[in-house]
Amino acid sequence: MANAEADSKRGIVKKAGYHHGDLRNAIIESVVRLIAQNASLDFQLKDVAKLVGTTTPAIYRHFESKQSLLVETAIAGYAIQEDYRNRAISLSKPSPLARLIAIGHAYVLFGRTHPGYFRLMKSLETEEMLASPEYQSLRTKALDLTNALTIECMEAGLFLEIDMAVVKTSLQTTALGLGHIYSTDQLQYIAPEALDDESLVARVFEVNLGGLLSAKGKRHVREASQDPFKAQR
């Protein structure tokens, strides 16, 4: 419920949310809860059925197997992540650097508020998920957007003249690392003094990107690094 309220305040539409009687989405939401709780895919469909309050045969009327259920869950997760991404971009400053970092903030917030989806999509991908054309299409769409904004930043002279692969990997490492820390509640062990620091993610992006930026990029990175969701908290 807390996640749903937070999403509502930020203007995020939770596409995988379900209303009473929508068994298919209730099953997906229960899978996400089990992944968040177990930090693995080590559960059975009977566990899902118990959590939903239905039967295993009822699940098979919607999904042909556990693997197909995981694929559909991952696709639903990408839909939610896309909502966060689009909202972040709409709230960010217009510069390509600000939009690029806004996507990073959306990525971290997604991990923070939907740890089950985040874990499935970022560290527990299955062969069936990777073989799904729809899943791959959503993944490619997200990567194409960040790549395009990275190129815009380079063309605008905001990044140093360094290997594009280094820039993309550095950006992904920062966002993925922060998302993982928040999705697994590791901040309480890593930096407990920062648990209530809502500026932490922005400051980490600013510091980690500093080595990639030109003098021009450094002049406005602090403003570009600001959390686009901050005003809605």
Amino acid at 58: A
What pLDDT does residue 14 have? 46
Say if residue 195 is exposed, middle or buried (CB neighbours under 10 Å; 0-12, 13-18, 19+): exposed
Question: What domains, with CATH codes, occur in the chain?
Answer: 2-232 (1.10.357.10)
| Mean pLDDT in order along the chain per 10 residues (233 residues) | 45 42 90 95 96 95 95 96 96 94 97 96 95 95 95 95 93 95 96 95 95 94 92 64
State both tokens at 118: 């985040």
pLDDT of residue 174: 96
Q: Rounded to whole angstroms, how far apart are CA atoms 81 and 134?
A: 15
Residue 232 has a pLDDT of 65
According to DSSP, the residues that pair with 213 across neighbouring strands are 159
Task: Give Rg (Cα) of the chain.
Answer: 19
Report the SS3 class of residue 173. Answer: helix
Predicted confidence at residue 230, as pLDDT, reads 84
This prediction's pTM: 0.88
- pLDDT score for 102: 97
